[in-house]
């Protein structure tokens, strides 16, 4: 069985200037306007009350033409833990490295119906009003389309897991 194609995801953040985070990911799907990657959690996290265990799968959706991305968190049994939208922009993709800039505001949604808008307090007080407006608009777009976006992610994730070259659910 062929090895999956690997890329590096590099995240910069409005709330933490000068800091970067890097993640080694497997490419699940490429299309003209998006890149979908698999990332295996390397340690346990508790993110806003959502337990994410080492070995669980993150399916990351990065659109080149949308002002947000999505992490679809999957348990080892294939069920959804949560959907986590980051307001932000893909800043570059050269085929092996995906760089994106996190604009602080996040939306967390769970299968039980919980919806939290997070980190608006991390926006700098002196943020350019046009950028603040763009961030709030992106937040509103996600909230206004949340049902459709999570359904789309569920369908696409299920298809990728069922048809991929190897099951990423098996750690």
Which structure tokens are listed for 65?
Answer: 């033409």
- What are the structural domain ranges in the chain? 6-163
Report the pLDDT value the prediction gives residue 9, as an integer from 0 to 100.
97
Report the pLDDT value the prediction gives residue 165, as an integer from 0 to 100.
54
CATH superfamily for 6-163 is FomD-like (2.40.380.10)
Distance CA 112, CA 122 (A): 27
Report the pLDDT value the prediction gives residue 168, as an integer from 0 to 100.
56
Q: How much is the pTM?
A: 0.93
3-state secondary structure of 92: strand
Q: Which ranges of the chain does DSSP label H, i.e. alpha helix?
A: 129-144, 146-163
Per-residue pLDDT of the chain (171 residues), as tens digits, is 556 789 999 999 999 999 999 999 999 999 999 999 999 999 999 999 999 999 999 999 999 999 999 999 999 888 999 999 999 999 999 999 999 999 999 999 999 999 999 999 999 999 999 999 999 999 999 999 999 999 999 999 999 998 875 545 444
Tokens 């990332």, residue located: 39
Beta strands in the chain (DSSP E): 6-13, 20-31, 34-40, 45-47, 50-52, 57-63, 68-74, 80-93, 97-109, 115-118
Report the pLDDT value the prediction gives residue 170, as an integer from 0 to 100.
44
DSSP secondary structure string for all residues of 124-152: -TT--HHHHHHHHHHHHHHHHTHHHHHHH
């Amino acid at each position: 069985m062929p090895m999956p194609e690997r890329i590096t995801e590099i995240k910069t953040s409005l709330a933490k200037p000068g800091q970067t985070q890097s993640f080694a990911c497997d490419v699940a799907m490429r299309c003209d306007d998006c890149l979908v990657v698999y990332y295996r959690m390397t340690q346990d996290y508790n993110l806003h009350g959502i337990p994410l265990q080492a070995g669980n799968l993150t399916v990351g959706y990065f659109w080149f033409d949308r002002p947000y991305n999505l992490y679809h968190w999957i348990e080892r049994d294939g069920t959804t833990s949560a959907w986590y939208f980051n307001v932000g922009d893909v800043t570059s993709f050269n085929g092996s490295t995906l760089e994106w800039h996190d604009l602080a505001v996040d939306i967390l949604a769970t299968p039980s119906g919980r919806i939290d808008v997070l980190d608006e307090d991390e926006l700098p007080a002196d943020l350019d009003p046009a950028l603040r407006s763009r961030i709030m608009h992106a937040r509103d777009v996600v909230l206004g389309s949340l049902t459709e976006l999570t359904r789309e992610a569920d369908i696409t994730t299920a298809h990728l897991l069922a048809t991929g070259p190897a099951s990423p659910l098996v750690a």
